[in-house]
Amino acid sequence: MDKNRKEIKDLGEFGLIDHLTSSFSTYQQPSTYVGVGDDAAVIDLGNEYLLVSTDMLVEGIHFDLAYTPLHHLGYKAVAVNISDIAAMNGKPEQITISIAISNRFSVEALEQVYEGVTAACTNYAIDLVGGDTTSSTSGLVISITAIGRVAKNKLVQRKGAKANDVICVTGDLGAAYMGLQILEREKEVFLTNPEMQPNLEVYDYLVGRILKPEARTDVVFDMAEKNILPTAMIDVSDGLASELFHICKQNNLGFRIYEDKIPVDNQTYETAIEFKIDPITCALNGGEDYELLFSIPQSEIEKIKLHPDIHMIGYFHANTQERIMVTKQGNSVAVQAQGWTHF
């Protein structure tokens, strides 16, 4: 083996993408407005912007078929891409889907995936307009591209947040991560004793959050109605801390967030305690919540504070070194970004 060989895992997912796409920062097409580096690419259509987002879900990496129903998988594959369009403040309209699948799957299995895709298309009022179905030598791979549109003056990027802007997050955080812990535990129990029937009912919310997440297109709609335009936005796919770091890096900012403001569901809280995990760690570093993280000017606080599903958790800071969470006890602790590492 060549000892100078660079290993993919040493760079990490974000490092790798930065490394590979650094040469793609200049564009040849005048219609290319934003390329690599945001939740979705932005293409100038003249009177509005087209948004394009793509994601790949790989068996054994992003999902485990031991506990992932195929129709949920199809639904989720669509939802996570729609979430990227929502994170640009856009309206999703079409998707394409490519599936690589091995002969160990039946046609019925593939139909179940498409059933979930259909349900998501109906729910988000989008059309499946193309794709590819191909054979695979081993696992199941699903790649989805979502297309959306946004008025030019409504586009929200990761870039745009300013010092003192209020940091908001939708829904609650950490539930998907705890759902995954539950499913992994039940899988272990099942492998040890196949007679055991899992009791997932008490964890229904958590399991639902990991298996069948929803994109927050509803919040994008609500904000448009209330005439609120975030200064920056991102979807929470890799954990709150990681997403905050992305926005800070793009805008040369730091942040200060308050532990008691971070929304954590009771079921997440109690299950985290049961698993001897700090609930706030789930919220900060657990991934796959697909909530929206965004910032608004302080002048907009009045408009947002009555929304039952939007939580103001802190504010951005001019000092880039300031990456602080104020605990319930009033202590300031430094936040580490962990995110998800697939490699």
Residues 88-127 that bind a copy of itself (CB under 8 A): 93-94, 96-101, 103, 105-108, 110-111, 114, 118, 121-122, 125-127
| Least gap, CB of 184 to a copy of itself (angstroms) | 17
With contact defined as beta carbons under 8 Å apart, do 180 and 288 qualify? yes
d(CA 211, CA 176): 8
Taking CA atoms, 316 is separated from 71, 75, 87, in Å, by 40, 34, 18
d(CA 42, CA 35): 7
Of residues 292-311, those binding a copy of itself (CB under 8 A) = none
Nearer to a copy of itself, 27 or 221 (CB): 27
Does 221 sit near a copy of itself (CB under 8 A)? no
Nearer to a copy of itself, 81 or 231 (CB): 81
d(CA 131, CA 145): 9
Candidate residues 77, 141, 211, 247; the one interacting with a copy of itself per rule CB under 8 A: 141
> Measured in Å, how far apart are the chain's first and last C-alpha atoms?
20
Total of residues contacting a copy of itself (CB under 8 A)? 82
Nearer to a copy of itself, 30 or 308 (CB): 30
Does 244 sit near a copy of itself (CB under 8 A)? no
d(CA 138, CA 74): 18
Candidate residues 65, 69, 119, 136; the one interacting with a copy of itself per rule CB under 8 A: 136
Does 134 sit near a copy of itself (CB under 8 A)? yes
d(CA 66, CA 332): 41
Does 132 sit near a copy of itself (CB under 8 A)? yes
**Cα torsion at 141, 147, 150, 155 (round to 10°)?**
40
Nearer to a copy of itself, 93 or 322 (CB): 93
Number of residues in the chain: 343
Phi, psi (deg, nearest 5) at residue 142: -120, 125
Candidate residues 69, 139, 198, 297; the one interacting with a copy of itself per rule CB under 8 A: 139
As beta bridge partners, residue 234 has 293
**What binding mask, one character per residue, do residues 43-62 give for a copy of itself by CB under 8 A, x or -?**
x-xxx--x-xxxxx-xxxxx
Candidate residues 83, 89, 143, 267; the one interacting with a copy of itself per rule CB under 8 A: 143
Q: Please name which of 176, 164, 93, 101 lies closest in space to residue 135, comparing C-alpha atoms.
A: 101
Phi-psi region of 196 (alpha: psi -120 to 50; beta: other; left: phi over 0): beta
Q: Please name which of 182, 252, 247 lies closest in space to residue 210, comparing C-alpha atoms.
A: 182
The H or E element that residue 332 is part of is: strand 332-334
| Least gap, CB of 120 to a copy of itself (angstroms) | 12
Candidate residues 65, 119, 128, 277; the one interacting with a copy of itself per rule CB under 8 A: 128
As beta bridge partners, residue 162 has none
Does 273 sit near a copy of itself (CB under 8 A)? no
| Least gap, CB of 237 to a copy of itself (angstroms) | 11
Of residues 144-203, those binding a copy of itself (CB under 8 A) = 145, 147, 149
Nearer to a copy of itself, 29 or 199 (CB): 29
Does 9 sit near a copy of itself (CB under 8 A)? yes
Does 3 sit near a copy of itself (CB under 8 A)? no
Does 133 sit near a copy of itself (CB under 8 A)? yes
Does 40 sit near a copy of itself (CB under 8 A)? yes
Of residues 13-32, those binding a copy of itself (CB under 8 A) = 13, 16-17, 19-21, 23-24, 27-29, 31-32
Nearer to a copy of itself, 122 or 193 (CB): 122
With contact defined as beta carbons under 8 Å apart, do 321 and 259 qualify? no
Q: Name the residue type at position 236.
A: V
